[in-house]
Amino acid sequence: MTDSAPILVTHDGPIATVTVNRPDALNALNRETLLGLRDAIGALRKRANLGCVIVTGAGDKAFVAGADIAAMSSMSREDALAFAELGQSTFALLEGLPVPVIAAVNGFALGGGCELALACDFIYASSHAKFGQPEVKLGILPGFGGTQRLSRRVGLGLARELIYTGKMLGPEEALRVGLVNAVHPHAELMAKTLEAAKAILAAGPRAVAAAKQVMNAGADLPLTSAIAKEAEAFSRCFEAPEQREGMGAFLAKRAAKFEGR
């Protein structure tokens, strides 16, 4: 992809970084950008030896400041439905990647930007980050999954307050309520995110993938059904060389060398 493309993807071994690249528009999501993101995710699914994905925004001001309001302002109901379904399906593809996805939120994450971050496995925020779902102030509601993922992240009561009022959270408050996992100085955000990615890469890749699959699948199931899925996935690990290498390395007091790492 060229530097003018709305989505840039770079690779550092098994770590892929996906950058929303519309800094002049604060990385706002329009149809072209969502389609580019969808294509990038599709390409990542086919990539061998992928271990972790980082999602961030170009520039110093915004992760993604929201959906493109100029593009939305003249939409018909049919247009709006198609746009919402494109955003939802794209974010579902991101959420469904078999490897962990970390959002490195380097500035404004509002509306569709907050929804994009919520579709990632966890969120690291810079000291400049701002989060919110301010759609009601525009006479609409979140359309890319925010009404559902935000409540699963921070609880239904707080999600209702944030969505009904359009309130914006700074990074420390976002950390306090559990929206983000950590807050880092702005200049250190990407380095800290890469540290987390490398920690993931030090673990068994099949075990990490299985853990993600079980956690996603079990999120909306009754506890008894969810932990049954966990037990089944746990048992399958004992049929794989990865378990023998991991436990053998532990008993031998050496670093594990997992296949594909």
Which residues are catalytically annotated? Answer: 115, 135
Element (H, E) at 91: helix 77-95
The whole-angstrom separation of Cα 234 and Cα 207 is 9
CA atoms of 243 and 124, how far apart (whole Å): 30
DSSP state of 67: B
Determine how many CB atoms are found less than 10 A away from the CB of residue 16.
23
| Greatest Cα-to-Cα distance within the chain, rounded to the nearest angstrom | 65
Gap between the Cα atoms of 27 and 61, Å rounded: 9
Q: How far apart are CA 215 and CA 209, in angstroms?
A: 10
| Residues across the chain | 261
CA 192 to CA 190: how far, in whole Å? 5
Q: Phi first, then psi: what are they for 47, rounded to 5°?
A: -80, 130
C-alpha distances (whole Å) from 226 to each of 29, 207, 232 are 35, 17, 10
Pairing of strands 168-169, 130-132: antiparallel
Write the CB contacts of 170 (distance below 8 Å, at least 6 apart in sequence). Answer: 129, 130
